[in-house]
Structure 1
């Protein structure tokens, strides 16, 4: 994980990280301090019941996300994002002065106005925070940068919440809250001044202040790319799911576990640490690329550990008196609850970090901030809908553990639905699992795969798993041309059919299918996609490379695009190779986690990419190791 932590020393990332961390910290410091004051000193401020005021405060903070996210997205596309970050931090300082006035004059309306303005400030900063990352980070740093931002945000929320509650319980609490909030805002502004310039991608954009039309337009931008839109729905679902679990922690603590406020805080800290660890592990598990195969892995964990919370909830612990944390830690069932919450956080990190990075990477730069604004709007909407659904179910008599089980089952349904619409997620998961569970893959030259535009990838053909390994190693989807008989192979055939692979047959066997294959390959290249081909035409039977066939020349004649040579080594003799004449007979021939290598060479211009030249380059990349 050292790679992503190095970003914290980079001037192009560290100031942004500090700025967003302090912003999330301050939001939760003020919000929770106000909630605590309204809960324990409600008579001083209002005649309304504390629980009503707490929900009103939550609604006041989230309302700006509905009203102003569309405008925030436009501003972040039209103006320099670093300059906007500084302006939002100046606004934060002014908001703290408004809060000071509210405390000074004991004005609840002024304090609520300050909370609303903090929500506005967060709304304005959200599109800046996420859309600036692709401008300052390299493609292979994007996942690590998002992991740090997500981990930092959750840690800041936790520390801010704890600090807010602590300050609210001190003598002269209003003074401490205001001074603390002002200091954090000032330091945040100073750090924002160090953020490098991030030029506007659409300076000609005309700002529209109509929130309804602009919200619909922003969502329209997101819907232009199906994968992006479904990723946003996945992110929004995660926020609904996570918020539902976290909101019920006080009730779970008191009514199920029989614990006090200290246990609530400890459970919250456990979940937060899980999110942080899961986010940071994403880069380690994905070989420094945006690996959306982690998303299904994350959804599986979110479902399993959400369900286990239902079974883990102990019966008979809650009583008339609350138990101490020490007493509860003596019960194994409580440790199981801690473990489930921690793993929910870990798998939540696996789920959400790649989705954020994918949205940033695949959205057009000129409207990226507006797409992120659409994401923020949908996040807020989903959280509100989740809260309403939880209230309805709990009012109807559903227990908190049962609510967790219902949410987990719905999570599984949502995941299956999304992956059926975009099979790329599930296919990448299978590819990632194959590489991680069976092999130890070492890649060199990944930078030679073009970040955008059409290209042909050529590789030697050692085993039935070759295409899956290459798919899992590429940051972009690959359309493979492969023997039609492979589509009948169990599991692998399913993967290839749903990954857009192009079946081909020899002319003497099926001339029509061969012609269709060349047409589909040409269409894919015209569409700016990557097309993969094994020019040998068949899997090797002796471990040696066979001469490259002329099909590659025919493709290049119709589409003169760059050709990237790739070489696999270490697969000969594996379960998927034909070392014994037929593959997949001896599962443990090579043992677990055998090392394989993928060497990627510089792209060859179409004019120089003859079958003989490409054969020589792939052979040189492979070396002597088969």
Structure 2
């Protein structure tokens, strides 16, 4: 897997025009929406007693199309060539903004509200194709980095559009500047879309169901067919619930607790947006250029820890009224609260980017856009739910904003805990990631020799009790490990090995039934196209050397002829989990952050496989790895 910077994608035509187009779309959406909210609140077009009604109506009109039209948009995105569809959607944005500009200049609130609904429609049409295009244009080791850049660009564009709306509103002849601005950025977005390369349709023969209600039901039903994808959609939607909960309360937090200066709202929005952007970019480094679910629990844990701490930080504040943003930042008493907001959003970026990439990677190619449409519908639903929950908590239950933030941080633990319990892969990958990024520094060579799909058997030397975890962390595919029954039944680890779907085995003399069941399960897993890994020595090495390979591998290949890939681990002999200087797990741990190497050889055809040949191959790879 090549080591590259995600920012290199910004120099590629297959990514840069798309990135610019989607960022400009998010920027213009928020420029127009926030300019409209400012016009409602401060221009005198609407009576003061009606401003709250129109403000909430505006929020509803913008999000309503995501419920009504996302499922249809998903079908269109699967049926049409994607670059052409994007250009059509951006051209629609230009037309909408031309009419919206007329509404702004003439102070026609009805027209402006209608066009806000149409902007929501345009965004709903763009959403599915925006994310469905990424897996077609990016390599697999670029998918996380691409999603990270998109997430960064989206949040910074939202922030930029919000700030720009305020700046334009403060200018003389503000409505003319706003009208010119929304037209200019719409035209710029259409211009950038013309450079997006062709991306073929997922299912050109698809028959579109134009009934938004029945298609909404169909879309959600189809999404539920893949449980990991569906629960990832729920987890992403929960992220938007949390995000909307924080962003919605920032104006009231600034007014009631932070001195009342509107500049503080912009400061909080900036901290949140930059935090999400930073967390999104950090995903690429932590994930090793692959969809790494192990960092998702880290993200959720961080959101809860700093969400709870935000309650204490706000409660301890004593702020003078009408502080400027600069004066607020210069006071060290405020840094804890600012850090909490930035870190909540940073860990939110770590949480959401791998989930977005997982949906794109694992969705059926013919229905990818429709699955993303289901995600958009649920995101919108959860955002509306956050508004309702905020009203119940703050108005009905009379919670303070600090208490409200604490409640949603605790709720986050419950919600994501449920998701992780339903999809054990999250927990499994988390444990693997933590082990391979705390006790060990794992490097690997030849990992690309493991095929991206299809059945294959991996064979490796057996040095320690954590061999399987380190191999699983390096391999991009799930692995079914054949493991000595005594190890798989170890107290404290038994639950984990079951999560990993290990295959217990023992000698036929010890238990014939367990022995035969293991071979039957191996055959079933290979027939299902899975990766199976065995340690042919049959036990941990007592000397640090590779011992004789047993003949079980020959039976496996005789029953299911599939390619076999030799591998070798080095650097684990002498660790707490090996038998050097005493039994494993009985010594005082001394080595942390140790270097471990995994060397993967070329696949061997089934007909050339014997235990003796594989033993020599693994020994050769082991010595080659030690010399790196």
1:305-358 deviation per Cα after TM superposition (whole angstroms, max 9, x unaligned): 111111111456367x43333443454442111000111111001100000111
Match of 1:22 in 2: 24
Q: Is the 8 A contact 1:82 1:197 kept in 2?
A: yes
Q: Is the 8 A contact 2:597 2:625 kept in 1?
A: no
Using the size of structure 1 for normalisation, the TM-score is 0.97
Match of 2:93 in 1: 92
SS of structure 2 residue aligned to 1:248 = helix
Q: Structure 1 residues 403, 567: closer, same or farther in 2, change over 3 A?
A: same
**Distance in 2 between residues matched to 1:403 and 1:209, nearest whole Å:** 41
2:178 is equivalent to residue 177 of structure 1: yes
Match of 2:9 in 1: 7
Q: Is the 8 A contact 1:465 1:576 kept in 2?
A: yes
Q: CA deviation at 1:201?
A: 1.5
SS of structure 2 residue aligned to 1:604 = coil
Q: Is the 8 A contact 2:142 2:289 kept in 1?
A: yes
2:120 is equivalent to residue 119 of structure 1: yes
Q: Is the 8 A contact 1:502 1:517 kept in 2?
A: yes
Match of 1:349 in 2: 349
Match of 1:31 in 2: 33
**Distance in 1 between residues matched to 2:179 and 2:329, nearest whole Å:** 36
**Distance in 1 between residues matched to 2:355 and 2:317, nearest whole Å:** 40
Match of 1:501 in 2: 502
**Distance in 2 between residues matched to 1:488 and 1:448, nearest whole Å:** 32
Q: Is the 8 A contact 1:313 1:333 kept in 2?
A: no
Q: Is the 8 A contact 2:82 2:199 kept in 1?
A: yes
Q: Structure 1 residues 586, 271: closer, same or farther in 2, change over 3 A?
A: farther
Q: Please give the residue correspondences for 1:90-489 in structure 2 after superposition, counting only pairs within 5 Å.
A: 90-315=91-316, 317=318, 321-329=321-329, 331-396=331-396, 397-489=398-490
1:218-245 deviation per Cα after TM superposition (whole angstroms, max 9, x unaligned): 1222111111111110000110011101
Q: CA deviation at 1:561?
A: 2.0
Match of 2:55 in 1: 54
Match of 2:621 in 1: 621
C-alpha RMSD of the superposition: 1.6
Q: Is the 8 A contact 2:472 2:479 kept in 1?
A: yes
Q: Is the 8 A contact 2:9 2:146 kept in 1?
A: yes
Structure 1 stretch 150-159 or stretch 438-447: which is displaced more? Answer: 438-447
Segments of structure 1 that go 5 or more residues without pairing to the other structure are none
1:595-621 deviation per Cα after TM superposition (whole angstroms, max 9, x unaligned): 111112222222222222322222222
Structure 1 stretch 441-450 or stretch 61-70: which is displaced more? Answer: 441-450
SS of structure 2 residue aligned to 1:565 = strand
**Distance in 2 between residues matched to 1:370 and 1:612, nearest whole Å:** 51
**Distance in 1 between residues matched to 2:425 and 2:621, nearest whole Å:** 29
Q: Is the 8 A contact 1:34 1:168 kept in 2?
A: no
Q: Structure 1 residues 86, 316: closer, same or farther in 2, change over 3 A?
A: closer
Using the size of structure 2 for normalisation, the TM-score is 0.96
**Distance in 1 between residues matched to 2:471 and 2:317, nearest whole Å:** 53
Q: Is the 8 A contact 2:541 2:579 kept in 1?
A: yes
1:45-96 deviation per Cα after TM superposition (whole angstroms, max 9, x unaligned): 4565323222211111111000000001001100111111111110111111
Q: Structure 1 residues 624, 135: closer, same or farther in 2, change over 3 A?
A: closer
**Distance in 1 between residues matched to 2:619 and 2:343, nearest whole Å:** 45
Q: CA deviation at 1:624?
A: 5.6
Q: Is the 8 A contact 1:26 1:184 kept in 2?
A: yes
Q: CA deviation at 1:297?
A: 0.6
How many residue pairs match? The answer is 623
1:447-490 deviation per Cα after TM superposition (whole angstroms, max 9, x unaligned): 22222222222211111111011111122211111011112335
**Distance in 1 between residues matched to 2:64 and 2:15, nearest whole Å:** 30
2:600 is equivalent to residue 600 of structure 1: yes
**Distance in 2 between residues matched to 1:431 and 1:130, nearest whole Å:** 28
Segments of structure 2 that go 5 or more residues without pairing to the other structure are none
**Distance in 2 between residues matched to 1:555 and 1:222, nearest whole Å:** 36
SS of structure 1 residue aligned to 2:257 = helix
Q: Is the 8 A contact 1:259 1:328 kept in 2?
A: no
Q: Structure 1 residues 46, 522: closer, same or farther in 2, change over 3 A?
A: farther
Q: Is the 8 A contact 1:256 1:315 kept in 2?
A: no
Q: CA deviation at 1:625?
A: 5.6
Q: Please give the residue correspondences for 1:524-539 in structure 2 after superposition, counting only pairs within 5 Å.
A: 524-539=525-540
2:42 corresponds to which of 40, 45, 49: 40
Q: CA deviation at 1:274?
A: 1.0
Q: Is the 8 A contact 2:466 2:577 kept in 1?
A: yes
Q: CA deviation at 1:122?
A: 1.0
